[in-house]
Structure 1
Amino acid sequence: MPDQELCLEALSVLCGCKVESTSGASQLTPQDFVNVVALREFYKQEGFKKLEYPSIGTMSLEEDADMYSAPLALADGSGESLQHTVKINPQEFFHSQYDYDFTNIRDGDKKFLRGNEKYIRPCGWNRVALRVLQKYSDGDSWLGTGNDAWPVSYQGKRMDGSLGIILSHDGPPNDEPSFLEAGCASLVREETRGRGVYSTPDIKMAETYCKTFTSKVDGKNYKVLLQNRINPKNRKTCNREDIWLVYIPDGRNDVQTRAIVQESLRPYGLLLKQA
Structure 2
Amino acid sequence: MPDTQLCLDALSALSGCNVEQTSGASQLTPQDFVNVVALREFYKQEGFKELEYPSLGTLSLQDVDERDLYSSPPQLTEGPSTAGPAESLRTTLKINPADFFHPQFDYDFTNIKDGNAKFLRGNEPYVRPCGWNRVALRVQQRYEGGDVWLGTGKDAWPVSYHGHNMDGSLGIICTRGGASANDDPKFLDAAAASLVTGETKGRGVYSTPDIKMVEKYCKKFKSRADGKSYQVVLQNRINPEKREKCQREDIWLVYVPEGCTDVKTRAIVQESIRPYGLLLRQV
TM-score range for the pair, normalised by the shorter chain length = 0.7 to 0.9
Does 2:144 correspond to 1:137?
A: yes
Q: Gaps (5+ residues) in structure 1?
A: 74-80, 171-181
CA gap 1:162/1:119 in 2 versus in 1, 3 angstroms: same
- Write the distance in 1 (CA, Å) between the matches of 2:265 and 2:85: 27
Conserved? CA contact 1:121–1:203, under 8 Å: yes
Superposed CA deviations along residues 208-243 of structure 1, whole A, max 9, x for unmatched, are 000111112111110000000000001111222310
Q: What is the correspondence of 1:20-99 to structure 2 with a 5 Å cutoff?
A: 20-65=20-65, 70-72=84-86, 82-99=89-106
- Write the distance in 2 (CA, Å) between the matches of 1:32 and 1:140: 18
CA gap 1:71/1:149 in 2 versus in 1, 3 angstroms: farther
- The farther-off stretch of 209-218 and 17-26 is 209-218
- Write the distance in 1 (CA, Å) between the matches of 2:221 and 2:207: 20
User: Out of 122, 130, 135, which is 1:115 matched to?
Assistant: 122
Superposed CA deviations along residues 106-128 of structure 1, whole A, max 9, x for unmatched, are 00000000000000000000000
**Aligned-partner SS, 2:33:** helix
- Write the distance in 2 (CA, Å) between the matches of 1:253 and 1:214: 36
* Percent identity of paired positions between Structure 1 and Structure 2: 71
**Aligned-partner SS, 1:154:** strand
**Aligned-partner SS, 1:232:** coil
Q: How many corresponding residue pairs? A: 255
CA-atom RMSD in angstroms:
2.1
- Write the distance in 2 (CA, Å) between the matches of 1:256 and 1:169: 23
- The farther-off stretch of 193-202 and 119-128 is 193-202
CA drift of 1:188 comes to 6.5
Superposed CA deviations along residues 38-88 of structure 1, whole A, max 9, x for unmatched, are 000000000000011011111111124355553549xxxxxxx54211001
Conserved? CA contact 2:173–2:191, under 8 Å: no
- Write the distance in 2 (CA, Å) between the matches of 1:186 and 1:230: 27
Q: Gaps (5+ residues) in structure 2?
A: 71-82, 178-188
- Write the distance in 1 (CA, Å) between the matches of 2:275 and 2:245: 20
Superposed CA deviations along residues 184-207 of structure 1, whole A, max 9, x for unmatched, are 835179xx8510000000001001
**Aligned-partner SS, 1:233:** coil
CA drift of 1:158 comes to 2.0
**Aligned-partner SS, 2:241:** helix
CA gap 1:138/1:70 in 2 versus in 1, 3 angstroms: farther
Partner of 2:9: 9
Conserved? CA contact 1:234–1:264, under 8 Å: yes
- Write the distance in 2 (CA, Å) between the matches of 1:220 and 1:184: 44
User: Out of 137, 144, 155, which is 2:162 matched to?
Assistant: 155
- The farther-off stretch of 127-136 and 238-247 is 238-247
Partner of 1:268: 276
User: Out of 198, 201, 223, which is 1:215 matched to?
Assistant: 223
- Write the distance in 2 (CA, Å) between the matches of 1:226 and 1:262: 15
Does 2:106 correspond to 1:106?
A: no
**Counterpart code for 1:70:** G
Taking structure 1 as the reference length, the TM-score comes to 0.88
Q: What is the correspondence of 1:176-255 to structure 2 with a 5 Å cutoff?
A: 185-187=192-194, 193-255=201-263
Superposed CA deviations along residues 4-26 of structure 1, whole A, max 9, x for unmatched, are 00000000000000001111011
- Write the distance in 1 (CA, Å) between the matches of 2:138 and 2:176: 39
- Write the distance in 2 (CA, Å) between the matches of 1:42 and 1:257: 10
**Counterpart code for 1:253:** T
User: Out of 244, 257, 264, which is 1:256 matched to?
Assistant: 264
Taking structure 2 as the reference length, the TM-score comes to 0.85
Conserved? CA contact 1:161–1:194, under 8 Å: yes
- The farther-off stretch of 205-214 and 155-164 is 155-164
CA drift of 1:147 comes to 1.0
- Write the distance in 2 (CA, Å) between the matches of 1:142 and 1:37: 21
